Structure 1
């Protein structure tokens, strides 16, 4: 995105809007693409805290994609990485690797990326609280596969698998997501 900004260009934007104040579902739009999405169990907040179950409001870079081997490789212009069984994401605010990928087992608290429920079979890492990282402001805010009938997340944005795959096939390398109420 720095290259685009240096040229005076704006990055492509995904827009996520909650259906109402405190809503746990919303709508994600990108150009002509529009799909329902799940939000955090506590809705959207401007003051995100670790473990609050809220989706952070704001503008965040879309960094890269993880996908699980054995599932169909997504078509995308975004950087693509495979998830390995020992991949984790540190969610311990006191740890030096807070809100960063880590290898499991890890001495501090870390979320497992290789999940049996399929939610992380396809994961888009968002640039939330990563540069700079602020303790207790929240970690592991992703866009990932939705549970059931768009059930609430722990703070992420989640889409039905077919919608997430379709969206990924349209996204340019430099883009951002805007989450609002």
Structure 2
């Protein structure tokens, strides 16, 4: 299945013919062509991305029901966002000497993370890292470049997701 996210911030959560759309938060800088995406620009990259795997906070939420690979987060999980580092746009264990994002967060945004296959095969240095589908903040406040949904909707999408599915941001 190819999940569709519109630039207006809506996503269809089901392959069923009567499925509606739900609200999604996008980057604080809006959207940008994937070829124009730059590390730290706050834009959500347009394009079609494979659904890679799911990470979740087992101390806060139950494992999502999904056919995708799932792993609980650990307090030392991070994601490298340093373009000059060999682990750029890859998971790392904290502490890590280069710039990275902590995946174990207190604000609930990463209680469930769907890792998207953006700039990862192989990563192009500086072309953007850590593009996830994750839980929303507040009343759909903008993200740093990810796609964010209400946790109920994250779970609904994951329940239907299968290996080989894609997320298209258009």
Question: Is this a same-fold pair by TM over 0.5?
Answer: yes
Aligned twin of 1:100: 90
1:136-147 paired onto structure 2 within 5 Å:
136-147=126-137
> What does the per-residue CA deviation read over 1:93-114, in whole Å, with 9 as the maximum and x for residues that have no partner?
0000000000000000010000
User: Which structure 2 segments of 5+ residues have no match?
Assistant: none
RMSD of aligned residue pairs (Cα, Å): 0.8
Paired residue total: 163
Give runs of ≥4 in structure 1 deviating > 4 Å. Answer: none
Pair 88,40 (structure 1): closer, same or farther in 2 beyond 3 Å: same
Aligned twin of 2:29: 42
Distance, in Å, in 2 between the alignment partners of 1:129 and 1:171 is: 21
Given candidates 58, 61, 64, the residue that maps to 1:69 is: 58
> What does the per-residue CA deviation read over 1:30-74, in whole Å, with 9 as the maximum and x for residues that have no partner?
422521100000111001100000000111111000011121111
TM-score by length of 1: 0.88
User: Which structure 1 segments of 5+ residues have no match?
Assistant: 1-11, 20-25
Matched, 1:133 2:120: no
